A and B are shown apart, each in its own frame.
Chain A
């Protein structure tokens, strides 16, 4: 059944072709619907408890998303520059999507002196003269709410904070808004030494542009590397073309599906084409390698034979590896971040689609136009080239220093586990960009000269009306801000308390000791009359029940930020007391808090994936031990990967967080291929060491090819403009190499110490049911046990006339005839005499099996004979792997021997020895 399914593509080429075309057309129609989404909202879990609070606070006090226009000039305060600054303000304000521009032309200076109080905006459109400008500069530098926020301490850098209408943000693309902003600031570039703008429109527009650049660059580059690698290893143009076609179709299907299901293309899913090319090609490479092996073994009708050989040997392993790889990607759905969830769905679909396409397209095309000659298996199973070199190198090490290798691996793993402790998490969207990107450098300049672009809110809420006109409540804000300063990690904070302290100071002739909260409520209320509602709406609600401290910072390390925020929350809660409710919220805080969920989700995904792989392999190999053993070679690369991250200070972020689960999903493929091949070989030999060697020989080419191709393919991602993609690529590439090391060095060492039986072997075993059920060897055993017992035996075939057992030789094997007839010939004093003809179901050689004595007769095949060989030494080994089955077999053998003994006594009774006579 399985085999017929695997051969669908080869046996029904036209239907397969039509099916592939149909699905391609259907999914292709979804391509125009594919959207690009670079929103950071995707980084915030929908279930984040602070989300509704943040939305409410952002609605009331304004979003923390502003565009900052940075202007630097040594002569900023000259008439010409101030006029240009005014023009810039005007140009920005004139943009229809701009809600407000907050800068030196809107911010108020309040200065008090003897009997005077001056409240005015810092700059006007028409400064009277240089003296007025100098006064404005002095006013601005005197104002603690402006210095370090809107104006640098040396007065050479100023910022214009631009907020946009939410409706326009929704209606227009980020690219359009970014272009309009760029156009507005372009004239100023000719006037000032430096002018640039940074804000969500630019970040999103650049993200999108880079994302599309990545798409254009990485997928073709991956394809090129793949072609070169396959040409190098498999030396066939068709072998290179087939993976390209399957990958191309898979990409089309996946993007089409994303279009139909409204899954947007985001920073992570942009690497899907590369992933599909790289991962999808591994199965193709395995298959084509097997095809070539088939070609090398075929005498005639090469294509048909090689295709059958390929599907017979690889059908089940590939089905399983497709499932495990898909599982690896699907495990990411446990992440609470939508960006990872949607990536998980798209990538899982991509892997499954690639599996379907591979299963249908590869046999179809190879059976039709596959090569009929190969150069890679010159001496039948003798592997050559780079894979051969790997095999020889690892084979030598394995044979000569098996214990040393295991010990060295254990020490290496211990070291890397220690390095894992240094892992840290970051989820800062700006860290997605390469550090040399102008956007990142511009952001750093804003941070250096003014304050960080990131903001969050600390909000205190009271039930009492006008609560924040009460000095004691305003003091709560001061307490929190004092602690913020003490933390020395945030760039600055502004609150209603600052505004009132400033006015208080100025009503006391600028005496700095009065930069404090007014001590009476009516004084607070009267000072507040110096502000327009617009001046305060970011800091206090209209009814003065809620007040907000706006904090600016530039912390990108999520773990550090989260740690400081935890401390801050405690202080805020204490300052708020029981009378007030306190919130510390911000979009970047939620994104950073999600980083911790990232770690938890990572552990959860990895744990679940390991469990699922363990269960699958346990079932596949009908042994929990098999499940555990097949996991070991895959844990090693994961440990090494996390250790490398710790060692090289690569953070865990939405990109690198996926490496482990994806890598394990891919790396387990090699292990499974090895195990399957080893199991097959074990059926034909009792030399398990030899079976391991042969299995490694046979699997080395596809394994080395795929691992190196994967490493190269993932390595291509290093060319990505996104740091997280580059980190993902580098780590995945390293993990592929680690897994190659583990599979070629560690897996054989472990494998040779186990004997597993695959459930597919049990299920697909063709039995001579009537014969076996009546055979005394399987007496009292269930059908399943019989199948398993057969599979731990060796299947031998003999041609007529061939001698199975020679009298006088020593052998420890017992045979069960499955088909054909054998003749038992005893030679006495040179005279050969046929003593019995054995038919299917009968057993012979049981004496030799029990005791190492000379065979008492020849056994010769009369017809083509199929038989199972039970070797004593092999079963002795297998006793520890399959104790129940082997014990049952031994019991039945003892029964057979007992019967034979009883028969012998009967014969002796009927024909007593001459001496007795």
Chain B
């Protein structure tokens, strides 16, 4: 079943409790049931977030081909091509694998993250030039960056249950009305050396899609912002952002992710790829530089012509 996609399944306990907030890596879908809920003044922060995830259920198996553009403070750009595999096992274990394909010298570098449900997060990094996988799960903290991007490891592994949600006054920007929900880490998760103390989500009331997330440090200072662009109605009520930008204003650095291809299929995310043996056998290394270069050129053209219709400004 090539290219088969999961339909959304509402009300599944597993996914309500095990959704990551880092939506750049995990897809969201939503059903466009707008009027009655979007204007509901009685909804709590938690209620809104539940609704977000009820509408945009997570597929347990996802495969994406992405182009990552890293932009520094002088606007110089570095391009990476990656493949992302994710799956959620029946025991709620979250597995995540990011494989770098371009540039050639980093081809095969892999980041493997596994978060047990209510259990520890383990993170492994595989460098083909070393030929060994190293456990790197400890101590990611403030200023942490996943392999040169502006995403922190915690961004990849946070659960809805890690936070308490407080609804803030709604905001209207560019004639679009947004729920504003502040997410505070629960007391028992603070000790996990969180990068940020508070997130503020801006959720479109018309489709319950999180368009923007602002990150604040422990002193309440804003330091980075995630925005989603190029929204696509994938199927039915499901929406996807095909372009995600993390603007780290403190570091004056940006990470832009363009999803070139997305497939929700168990076939694309077999369980064995999340093993050390599979990585050490270098089975994950594939593709050619020429092919990737062509892809990058194609992407660059698309990127130049792209507008930021869905971006929320301050």
Interface residues of A (CB under 8 A from B): 60, 90, 93-94, 99, 105-106, 108, 112, 115-121, 124-126, 128, 469, 507, 518, 520-534, 537, 542-543
* Contacting pair A525 B128 (CB below 8 A): no
**Known contacts A94-B221, A542-B76; A118 and B139 CB within 8 A of each other:** yes
* Contacting pair B106 A526 (CB below 8 A): yes
Q: Which residues of A contact B194 (CB under 8 A)?
A: 126
Q: Which residues of B contact A112 (CB under 8 A)?
A: 134
Shortest B296–chain A CB gap in Å is 15
Binary CB contact string for chain B from 114 to 157 against chain A (1 if under 8 A, 0 otherwise): 00000000000101111011111011111111011010000000
**Known contacts A526-B127, A534-B252; A126 and B191 CB within 8 A of each other:** yes
Q: SS class of chain A's interface: helix, strand, loop or mixed?
A: mixed
* Contacting pair A118 B251 (CB below 8 A): no
**Cross-interface CB contact of A116 among B135, B140, B191, cutoff 8 Å:** B135
Distance, CA A99 to CA B253, complexed state (A): 13
* Contacting pair A533 B144 (CB below 8 A): no
Name A94's closest neighbour in chain B (CB-CB).
B221
Shortest B188–chain A CB gap in Å is 12
Among B67-75, B166-174, B205-213, B305-313, the stretch in contact with A = B67-75
**Cross-interface CB contact of B221 among A93, A526, A532, cutoff 8 Å:** A93
* Contacting pair B253 A534 (CB below 8 A): yes
* Contacting pair A532 B105 (CB below 8 A): no
Q: Which residues of B contact A94 (CB under 8 A)?
A: 219, 221
Listed by A's residue number, 26 A-B pairs whose Cβ atoms lie within 8 Å are: A90-B221, A93-B221, A93-B250, A99-B252, A105-B143, A117-B125, A117-B135, A118-B139, A120-B141, A125-B217, A520-B129, A521-B105, A522-B129, A525-B129, A526-B106, A526-B128, A529-B147, A529-B148, A532-B145, A532-B150, A533-B148, A534-B72, A534-B251, A534-B252, A537-B73, A542-B74
Name A541's closest neighbour in chain B (CB-CB).
B76
Distance, CA A501 to CA B104, complexed state (A): 22
Name B197's closest neighbour in chain A (CB-CB).
A125
**Known contacts A523-B129, A526-B106; A533 and B134 CB within 8 A of each other:** no
Q: Quick check: is B193 within 8 A (CB to CB) of the other chain?
A: yes
**Known contacts A520-B129, A534-B252; A120 and B144 CB within 8 A of each other:** yes
Q: Quick check: is B190 within 8 A (CB to CB) of the other chain?
A: yes
Shortest B83–chain A CB gap in Å is 16
**Known contacts A526-B106, A526-B128; A533 and B139 CB within 8 A of each other:** no
Smallest CB-CB A-B distances: 5 pairs = A525-B105, A542-B76, A124-B141, A120-B139, A117-B134
Name A116's closest neighbour in chain B (CB-CB).
B135
Q: Quick check: is B183 within 8 A (CB to CB) of the other chain?
A: no
Q: Which residues of A contact B103 (CB under 8 A)?
A: 525
Q: Quick check: is B109 within 8 A (CB to CB) of the other chain?
A: yes
Q: Which residues of A contact B218 (CB under 8 A)?
A: 90, 125-126
* Contacting pair A529 B109 (CB below 8 A): yes
Q: Which residues of B contact A121 (CB under 8 A)?
A: 141-144
Q: Tell me which of A527, A530, A532 has the highest count of chain B C-beta atoms within 10 A of its own C-beta.
A: A532
* Contacting pair A125 B142 (CB below 8 A): yes
Q: Quick check: is B78 within 8 A (CB to CB) of the other chain?
A: yes
* Contacting pair B130 A526 (CB below 8 A): yes
Q: Which residues of A contact B250 (CB under 8 A)?
A: 93
Distance, CA A83 to CA B300, complexed state (A): 45
* Contacting pair A507 B253 (CB below 8 A): no
Q: Which residues of A contact B74 (CB under 8 A)?
A: 60, 542
Distance, CA A105 to CA B142, complexed state (A): 7
Name B150's closest neighbour in chain A (CB-CB).
A532
**Cross-interface CB contact of B136 among A106, A117, A534, cutoff 8 Å:** A117
Distance, CA A534 to CA B253, complexed state (A): 8
* Contacting pair B135 A532 (CB below 8 A): no
Distance, CA A124 to CA B125, complexed state (A): 22
Q: Which residues of B contact A524 (CB under 8 A)?
A: 105
Name B104's closest neighbour in chain A (CB-CB).
A522
Q: Which residues of A contact B147 (CB under 8 A)?
A: 529-530
**Known contacts A112-B134, A126-B191; A529 and B106 CB within 8 A of each other:** yes
Q: Which residues of A contact B141 (CB under 8 A)?
A: 120-121, 124
Distance, CA A133 to CA B139, complexed state (A): 12
Name A543's closest neighbour in chain B (CB-CB).
B76
Q: Which residues of B contact A507 (CB under 8 A)?
A: 127, 130, 134
Distance, CA A521 to CA B129, complexed state (A): 9
* Contacting pair A526 B109 (CB below 8 A): yes
Shortest B120–chain A CB gap in Å is 14
Q: Which residues of A contact B140 (CB under 8 A)?
A: 120
Q: Which residues of A contact B150 (CB under 8 A)?
A: 532
* Contacting pair A106 B143 (CB below 8 A): yes
* Contacting pair A542 B78 (CB below 8 A): yes
* Contacting pair B148 A531 (CB below 8 A): yes
Distance, CA A119 to CA B104, complexed state (A): 24
Shortest A95–chain B CB gap in Å is 11
Shortest A821–chain B CB gap in Å is 98
Distance, CA A520 to CA B127, complexed state (A): 13
Shortest A343–chain B CB gap in Å is 38
Distance, CA A121 to CA B105, complexed state (A): 26
Q: List 15 other contacts, CB 8 Å, given A90-B221, A120-B140, A526-B129.
A: A94-B221, A112-B134, A120-B139, A125-B218, A126-B194, A522-B105, A522-B128, A525-B105, A526-B127, A526-B128, A526-B130, A527-B127, A529-B147, A532-B253, A533-B148
Shortest B68–chain A CB gap in Å is 12
* Contacting pair A118 B193 (CB below 8 A): no
* Contacting pair A526 B135 (CB below 8 A): no
Distance, CA A303 to CA B71, complexed state (A): 83
Q: Which residues of A contact B133 (CB under 8 A)?
A: 115
Q: Which residues of A contact B217 (CB under 8 A)?
A: 90, 125
* Contacting pair B253 A120 (CB below 8 A): no
* Contacting pair A116 B134 (CB below 8 A): yes
Name B276's closest neighbour in chain A (CB-CB).
A115
Shortest A677–chain B CB gap in Å is 71
Shortest A344–chain B CB gap in Å is 40
Q: Which residues of B contact A522 (CB under 8 A)?
A: 104-106, 128-129
Name A542's closest neighbour in chain B (CB-CB).
B76
* Contacting pair A124 B193 (CB below 8 A): yes
Interface residues of B in 70-127 (CB under 8 A from A): 70, 72-74, 76, 78, 100, 103-106, 109, 125, 127
